[in-house]
């Protein structure tokens, strides 16, 4: 039986999922961690983990999802499928905090720009489709055609 203290933090969970799902982004993750160490040493604190929101925003969205969605169709299908799997892992984590982060950072990014959702929709997994259905009332366009 695993004790509650052994459960990884949200940041550690997101880092591990990014590390495993997108090995080509490991340099970006390491650079963010180095920035955190440098900042902590400047202010005389122990370094903290790079936050889950920062990891999702700066690694997943900026380095992976945005470039993918900027492509003229067809998008890179393999990358789109890896993105969809990553999002399913986040939404299946069983952590309310991770679900909220995914909703705020990723789902809103997809739905806030309708062309993004139109490109990505065919790759979305069951949990992301459920998330979009729950969130679509906040947007003006029909997203589940």
Distances (CA, A) of 17 to 38, 45, 98, 114, 116: 24, 27, 12, 27, 23
Exposure string (b/e) for 29-44, b if CB count within 10 Å is 16 or more? Answer: beebeeebeeeeeeee
What is the distance between the alpha carbons of residues 129 and 85, in angstroms, rounded to a whole number? 13
CA triplet 120, 126, 130: central angle to 5 degrees?
90
Whether the per-residue pLDDT at 140 is higher than 80: the answer is: no
pLDDT, tens only, 6-39: 789 999 999 999 999 999 999 999 999 999 888 7
Q: Which residue has the higher pLDDT, 76 or 42?
A: 76
Per-residue model confidence (pLDDT) at position 136: 81
Whether the per-residue pLDDT at 137 is higher than 90: the answer is: no
Total-model pTM: 0.87
Q: Where are the domains of the chain?
A: 9-138
pLDDT, tens only, 95-129: 999 999 999 999 999 998 888 998 999 999 999 99
CB of 47 closer than 8 Å to CB of 32 = no
Distances (CA, A) of 7 to 24, 27, 119, 123: 26, 25, 35, 30
Helix (H, G, I), strand (E, B) or coil at 80: helix
High-pLDDT (> 90) share of the chain, %: 66
Whether the per-residue pLDDT at 3 is higher than 70: the answer is: no
pLDDT, tens only, 46-83: 667 899 999 999 999 999 999 999 988 778 999 999 99
Per-residue model confidence (pLDDT) at position 5: 60
């Amino acid at each position: 039986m695993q004790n509650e203290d052994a459960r990884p933090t949200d940041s550690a969970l997101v880092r591990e999922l990014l590390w495993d799902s997108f090995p080509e982004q490991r340099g970006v993750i390491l650079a963010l961690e180095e920035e955190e160490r440098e900042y902590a040493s400047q202010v005389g604190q122990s370094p903290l983990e790079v936050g889950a929101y920062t990891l999702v925003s700066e690694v997943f969205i900026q380095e992976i999802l945005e470039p993918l969605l900027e492509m003229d169709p067809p998008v890179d299908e393999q990358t789109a499928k890896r993105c969809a799997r990553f999002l399913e892992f986040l939404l299946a984590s069983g952590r309310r905090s991770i679900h909220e982060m995914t909703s705020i950072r990723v789902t809103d990014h997809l739905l806030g720009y309708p062309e993004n959702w139109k490109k990505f929709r065919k790759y979305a997994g069951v949990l992301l489709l459920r998330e979009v259905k729950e969130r679509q009332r906040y947007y003006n366009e029909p997203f589940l055609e």
